[in-house]
Structure 1
Amino acid sequence: MTYALVPVGAVRGGRAEVRDDDWDAERATIVLDAARFEEDAVAGLDAFSHLEVVYLFDRVDPDAVETGSRHPRGNADWPRVGIFAQRAKDRPNRLGVSRCVLERVEGLTLHVWGLDAVDGTPVLDIKPYMSEFGPRGDVRQPAWSRELMAGYWA
């Protein structure tokens, strides 16, 4: 089965090149498609502090997509784990999900910071973050993932 997705908008500004760390330094906008949406599509969104953004890793070559296992970021000091045990960009459907801070809404432009997507990235969906959708219970993750993430937002 195949599904066709049409972006709701695109990331504008922020980082132009793809690199892994220091995303909290990035401020950008998400500009919604004015041909498809009117301002009432974002009515009430400014009452939320954070967004969850679903986007396409459009710069990943489909031939580079990983379907098995590998060392995260190619680091042999970390265990070889399956693509679904990491958040790498070269995943089967090249989908990214990120939480970011919503600074303000101006018309169909959402001003955000900490969105780990580069300028021009197609945005597939936007949802307000609600704490009730956060983890329930204790969160468990391996030590290598904490090492990998140490500079991701810093």
Structure 2
Amino acid sequence: MTGQSITLQPVAHVIGGRVEPTDDYWGGTQAIIRINGSLFSTDSTKGLEEFSHLEVVFHFHLTDKSDLPLGARRPRDNPDWPEVGTFGHRNMRRLNWLGVSRCRLLKVDGLDLHVEDLDAVDGTPVLDIKPWFTDFGPRGLVHQPTWPTEMLSNYFAPRD
């Protein structure tokens, strides 16, 4: 199985919201996830308005593909935080350049999904959209080191 590649086709694109990816201040950012009308009809969004949140899988299309450190490094190059490996991060530097975001669903308008707090920028290819089921949330005790909480203290703060 190693070396096997896959081909993915975007199901939608992000319209509006932020135009540049940044590390913080995504709170209150509103955008539209516009589903591809040549592939999907409005039946594809039927019932989606009953959900408060979506889980969105997208491609980090604006990142520098040559910046791919696969070994351990410090989050945001902060010397106060420990070195962690590729799979100990959630940033864009991933072999397949995939992001996962959970955002609020504000409104369904045909094939336009109006969302808030989606940390993807205008033009981002969306690979999949799923309603958030609370039943798929973590089970059992959740724990993490302190550095992610410190690092993300302003992540969903409103942009001034």
Give the shorter-chain TM-score range.
over 0.9
1:78 is matched with: 81
The counterpart of 2:128, out of the listed 117, 125, 142, is 125
SS of equivalent to 1:66: coil
Tell me, yes or no, if structure 1 residue 59 matches structure 2 residue 62: yes
TM-score by length of 2: 0.94
User: What is the distance in 1 between the residues matched to 2:140 and 2:156?
Assistant: 24
1:116 is matched with: 119
**1:138-153 to 2 correspondences below 5 Å:** 138-153=141-156
User: What is the distance in 2 between the residues matched to 1:130 and 1:36?
Assistant: 25
Paired residues, number: 154
User: What is the distance in 1 between the residues matched to 2:82 and 2:7?
Assistant: 35
Structure richer in helix, relative to its length: 1
SS of equivalent to 2:92: coil
2:8 is matched with: 5
The counterpart of 2:20, out of the listed 14, 17, 22, is 17
Q: Tell me by how many angstroms 1:20 deviates.
A: 1.0
| Deviating more after overlay: 117-126 vs 60-69 | 60-69
Moved over 2 A (4+): none
1:104 is matched with: 107
Q: Tell me by how many angstroms 1:61 deviates.
A: 2.1
Q: Which amino acid aligns with 2:33?
A: I
Q: Please, what is the CA RMSD of the aligned residues?
A: 0.8
The counterpart of 1:36, out of the listed 39, 47, 52, is 39
User: What is the distance in 2 between the residues matched to 1:107 and 1:86?
Assistant: 35
1:91 is matched with: 94
Unaligned runs of 5+ in 1: none
Q: Which amino acid aligns with 1:131?
A: T
User: What is the distance in 2 between the residues matched to 1:25 and 1:56?
Assistant: 21
Q: Which amino acid aligns with 2:96?
A: N
Q: Which amino acid aligns with 1:98?
A: S
User: What is the distance in 2 between the residues matched to 1:123 and 1:66?
Assistant: 24
SS of equivalent to 1:6: coil
Q: Contact 1:66/1:92 (CA < 8 Å) preserved in 2?
A: no
TM-score by length of 1: 0.98
Q: Which amino acid aligns with 2:64?
A: D
Q: Tell me by how many angstroms 1:86 deviates.
A: 1.0
